[in-house]
Chains A and B, each alone.
Chain A
Amino acid sequence: MTARLRVIAAMSGGVDSAVAAARAVDAGHEVVGVHLALSKNPQSGRDEGRGCCTLSDARDARRSADILGIPFYVWDMAEEFADEVLDDFVAEYQAGRTPNPCMRCNEKIKFAAVLDRAMALGFDAVCTGHYAQILDDPILGRQMFRSVDPAKDQSYVLGVLTEDQLAHSMFPLGDTLKSAVRQEAQDRGLLVARKPDSYDICFIPDGDTAGWLQNRIGSAPGEILDAETGETLGQHEGAYAYTIGQRRGLGVKVAPKDGKPRYVVGVDPASRTVTLGPPTLLNVDSITATNIRWTAMPGQVGVEYWAQVRAHGEPVRSVLVSLQDHPGEEASLTVDLEESLRGVAPGQSLVLYDGRRVVGSGTISGTSSLPRAAVTTPAT
């Protein structure tokens, strides 16, 4: 017997959040659908360019709510989204790091601003269509686990959530395969059953992150250097357009002498230099992270965890080798990897797992290619 709760179902207009809302209704909760308007448009709100909340997405969400028979509202979170996600996204790239805006949105918007507002308005929880499981562990308490669908698992982008946030979150799809969710949507008569998945950053629907950044930041030209010889290979219009591990669109016309592909191996916004080199320079064996968030119990030094650095990247075995967590200081941790990862950029998130359970997360501040070597932190 589950308690009847008052639940805000965040409805993006996609199939997952619609089925998640439907399941919350079936579970007997009092569900109210909310679509988040994340694009600032003080004039009329009719700009076609609304990235994250196009009019058709809002309509799709509204129609799903109609079919479920639940009230539906649009919440204007554009200001919060601009302050917490867009500004941060730009600032991180300007500092030579590679941010994950979805993670930031979960941390600051969906499970913070939206959850806080929902709680203040008398609701008990926020329900989303994320693929992750929340389970009560008899010893550890409320915990988050990977989805049963490995291809869709989103526990990584939820790794920033704390136990308190998890206590007021619902992910009804974590125990289901995506294919089954689509079938369920169809069976329920939801019109979004066949709507394609979204993969891109929602506010950059055309996928041109460099172009989007250039509009925001403007031109900041600098040199592209060879990591091994130090020679200048070309010029760029902005170091923010480059990410560690990037191979394509480098803007270099000089062919490598050895004929092997070159990758971005370094981005230094202070000197505006981008460094290219062979893939061997991308190997990372040790990762240091700050902005640590433990889901419940803190990780323990000397213990093995699975480390994941990308939303759909393969986790690798690692050992937590140091943990600085003194009151009044910024917490940081270092993990040594049992096998090298390639192209790990500062700014990306590190999520640690114990088996399928999320232990905690941090923002990568530095990497090194030799275990236990001094960690390099890029200039900021």
Chain B
Amino acid sequence: MAYLDHAATTTVRPEALAAFSQHAALVGNPSSLHSAGRQSRRVIEESRESIAANLGVRPNDVVFTSGGTESDNLAIKGLYWRARVEDPSRTTLVVSPTEHHAVLDAVEWLIATQQASVVWIPVDSHGVVDLDWLAGYLAQNAPQVALVAVMWVNNETGVISPIETVAAICADYQVALHCDAVQAAAWLPGPGSWLSGPTSLAISGHKFGAPVGVGALILNGVTPEPLTHGGGQEIDVRSGTVATALIASMAAALAASFTGQQAQAARLKDLSAQLHDLLALAVPDVSLNAMSAPRLPTITSASFPGCKADSLLMLLDAANVACSAGSACTAGVPRPSHVLAAMGLDEQSATSSLRFSLGWDTSSADLAAVSAALPAAVQRSRQATNRRRASGRSQVHQ
């Protein structure tokens, strides 16, 4: 199978699997006071230090969670509640419309149930937030703002936000900034510089080679109100037995990602360029989205005129090519991308877009499989869009 859906989840790295296996076999609750517990606690703290060192943050700022969605929810809800505790007039959330649903739906829940209101930050045709607008808005309204939320790398397009500038603007007006860094972790901006900016950062282990089920929220001098209550294991912000083996595995995956990161980034940039050439060869009228913005080479969003993304995905699946058609509802119905819509793509383009995402183990053979399967899939999908019955069909014999 040609797996080109690494932004959904990537292959577990061997180092991460080894760390998981090693620690999953050991007994000991890290909160226990005996030696088995202390041994687990030590693994967690060493993992925390390793992750902090790789990200350039302080170990005590790392709060382990179950993944990106929990981290985003903890930040959005927890920081909103914290802001309101300190000043009840801070009820406005200032949010980019291209955020992941983990942020958007948390924001909508706060509006529906917690007296919050939202102001959407205008974005350009690449989905990048309007910095002048943000500075102007905060100059007028900062005292009412509970939180700004801007993601670092968009999960559908790979476009990189100027997060340090956004952070500087928020810092000028002393407003908290949450940054969903789920797609950025392990790629940007390299070890040692994450601290200069956002109030909180969400990361998710399975996006860079850990198993699913572990993530972290990096907190820069703030303490959100907790979402869950119990043992208070993670600095009283997050309760629940801490997942030793998963956390060790996430630390190993992040360390492996940062080893030779520049060489890997260069390799993926080459692969990305190859992919774009192959797409254009296979489907001459393909349109690549948001290509002139700064972007990660790992994510490509492409529109195939006249096609429906869900039928394309199904046909490519049948040809053993795995990619993504944006988000799907719980029942499994693909939904038009809110990200592409916010960028100003018309509905036809938005519903004809696929995401191809590369990972640490992607090879040019994977790309060749895509370009081999695409022409026939595109042709069939166009037929289906037109709903014309194919000719020369055979009779059914039961």
A residues bordering B, Cβ < 8 Å?
2-3, 5, 27, 32, 35, 37, 41, 44-46, 50, 53, 55, 58, 62, 71, 73-76, 78, 113, 116-117, 119-122, 124-125, 134, 142, 167-170, 172
Q: Are A2 and B389 in contact (CB under 8 A)?
A: no
Q: Evaluate contact between A74 and B396: CB separation under 8 angstroms.
A: no
Chain B residues contacting A170 (CB-CB under 8 Å) are 396, 398
B303 at the interface (CB under 8 A from A): no
- Selected from A27, A74, A134, the residue in CB contact (under 8 A) with B333 is A74
B393 with A119: CB separation less than 8 A: yes
Given A45-B329, A71-B318, A74-B331, 18 more pairs with CB closer than 8 A: A2-B397, A3-B394, A27-B398, A37-B331, A41-B329, A44-B329, A44-B335, A71-B317, A76-B310, A117-B311, A120-B380, A120-B387, A120-B390, A121-B315, A122-B390, A167-B395, A170-B396, A172-B398
Task: Knowing A2-B398, A117-B387 are in contact, say whether A122-B380 is a contact too (CB < 8 A).
Answer: yes
10 A–B contact pairs at CB < 8 A?
A: A2-B397, A35-B331, A44-B105, A45-B335, A46-B330, A76-B333, A113-B387, A116-B384, A122-B380, A142-B395
B314 within 8 A of A: yes
List the 5 closest pairs (A to B, CB-CB), nearest first: A45-B329, A74-B332, A120-B384, A120-B383, A58-B331
Give the CA-CA distance A32 to B314 in the complex, in Å. 10
Using A119-B389, A121-B381, A122-B380 as known contacts, say yes or no to A53 and B396 having CB atoms under 8 A apart.
Answer: no
Closest to A73 in B: B314
Chain A residue at smallest Cβ distance from B397: A2
Given A113-B387, A120-B384, A121-B314, the answer on whether A76 and B334 have CB atoms closer than 8 Å is yes
- B332/A73 in contact, CB under 8 A: yes
B109 to chain A, nearest CB (A): 12
Mark each residue of chain B from 295 to 309: 1 if its CB lies under 8 Å from any CB of chain A, else 0. Answer: 000000000000000
In the complex the two chains form, is B329's CB within 8 Å of A116's CB? no
The 8 Å CB contact of B397, one of A3, A120, A169, is A3
B383 to chain A, nearest CB (A): 4
CA distance A50 to B385 in the complex (A): 25
Residues of chain B with a CB closer than 8 A to A58's CB: 330-332
Query: Measured between alpha carbons, how far is A333 from B385 in the docked complex, in Å?
Result: 37
B394: A residues at CB distance < 8 A: 3, 5, 124
CB-CB under 8 A from A73, the residues of chain B are: 310, 314, 332
The answer to whether B34 has its CB under 8 Å from any CB of chain A is: no
A134 in contact with B398 (CB, 8 Å): yes
Write out, one digit per residue, whether chain B residues 315-339 have a CB within 8 A of any chain A CB (1) or not (0).
Answer: 1011000000000111111110000
Interface hits, B368-396 → A, CB 8 Å: 380-381, 383-390, 393-396
Bound-complex Cα distance A62 to B334 (A): 15
* Number of B interface residues in the complex (CB < 8 A): 31
Also in contact, A35 and B332, with CB within 8 A (given A119-B393, A172-B398): yes
- Shortest beta-carbon distance, A49 to chain B, in Å? 13
Across the interface, which residues of A come within 8 angstroms of B330, CB to CB?
A: 44-46, 55, 58
Q: How far is it, in angstroms, between the C-alpha of A204 and the C-alpha of B371 when the chains are bound?
A: 46
Q: With a CB–CB cut-off of 8 A, which chain A residues contact B386? A: 120
Cβ of A120: which chain B residues have Cβ within 8 Å of it?
Answer: 380, 383-390
A41-B329, A46-B329 given as contacts; is B393 within 8 A of A121 (CB)? no
Q: Report how far A124 CA is from B393 CA in the complex, Å.
A: 7
Inside 8 A of B381's CB, which chain A residues have their CB? 121
Q: How many Å lie between the Cα of A45 and that of B335 in the bound state?
A: 9
How far apart are B327's CB and chain A's nearest CB, in angstroms? 9
Q: Bound complex: CA of A125 vs CA of B310, how far in Å?
A: 19
Instruction: Report yes or no: A5 in contact with B396, Cβ–Cβ below 8 A.
Output: yes
CB-based nearest A residue for B315: A121
Q: A44 vs B101: C-alpha distance in the bound complex, in angstroms?
A: 10
Nearest chain A CB to B296 CB, angstrom units: 27
Contact among A71, A74, A76, A168 for B393, CB-based, below 8 A? A168
Provide the bound-state CA to CA distance between A124 and B334, in Å.
24
B331 touches A50 (CB 8 A): yes
A83 to chain B, nearest CB (A): 13
Q: Provide the residues of chain A in CB contact with B387, threshold 8 Å.
A: 113, 116-117, 120
Which residues of A lie under 8 Å from residue B328 when comparing CB positions? 45, 74
Nearest to B336 among chain A residues (CB) is A42
Q: How far is the CB of A112 from chain B (nearest CB, A)?
A: 9
Distance in angstroms between the alpha carbons of A3 and B394 in the assembled complex:
10
Q: Point out the residues of chain B lying under 8 angstroms from A124, CB to CB.
A: 393-394, 396
A122 to chain B, nearest CB (A): 5
Given A2-B398, A75-B310, A169-B396, does the pair A121, B333 have CB atoms closer than 8 Å?
no
**A135 nearest CB neighbor, chain B only:** B398
The answer for the CA separation of A5 and B310 in the assembled complex, in Å, is: 22
On whether the beta carbons of B389 and A55 are closer than 8 Å, the reply is no
Smallest CB separation, B393 vs chain A (Å): 6
Q: Given the complex, which residues of A lie within 8 Å of B397, measured CB to CB?
A: 2-3
CA distance A113 to B388 in the complex (A): 10
Residue of A nearest to B311 (CB): A121
CB distance A168 to B396 under 8 Å?
yes
Min C-beta distance of A2 to chain B, whole Å: 5
Q: Which of A55, A71, A116, A121 lies at the interface centre, i.e. has the most chain B CB atoms within 10 A of its CB?
A: A121
How far apart are A43's CB and chain B's nearest CB, in angstroms?
Answer: 9
Complex: A45 Cα to B333 Cα, angstroms: 8
Q: How far is the CA of A113 from the CA of B387 in the complex (A)?
A: 8
A75 to B333, CA, bound (A): 6
Contacts of B310 in A (CB 8 A): 73, 75-76
Q: Which chain B positions have C-beta within 8 A of A76?
A: 310, 333-334
Residue of B nearest to A39 (CB): B331
Chain B contacts with A in 139-176, Cβ cutoff 8 A: none
Q: Is the CB of B332 within 8 A of A62?
A: yes
**Cβ proximity bits B242-264 to A, threshold 8 Å, 1 near / 0 not:** 00000000000000000000000
Contacts of A75 in B (CB 8 A): 310, 333
Interchain CB contact (< 8 A) of B384 among A45, A121, A142: A121
Cβ 8 A contact of B331, one of A2, A27, A55, A134: A55
A169 to B333, CA, bound (A): 24
Give the complex CA separation of A47 and B64 in angstroms: 32
Residue of A nearest to B334 (CB): A76
Return the chain B residue nearest A167 by Cβ: B395
Complex CA distance for A134 and B397, rounded to whole angstroms: 10
User: Which residues of B are found within 8 Å of A50, using beta-carbon distances?
Assistant: 331
Closest to A74 in B: B332
Closest chain A residue, CB of each to CB of B386:
A120
In the complex, how many angstroms separate the beta carbon of B52 from the nearest chain A beta carbon?
Answer: 36
Residue of B nearest to A169 (CB): B396
Name the CB-closest residue of B to A134. B398
A121 to B377, CA, bound (A): 8
Q: In this complex, what residue of A is CB-closest to B312?
A: A121
Say whether B331 contacts A45, CB under 8 Å: yes
A116 to B391, CA, bound (A): 11
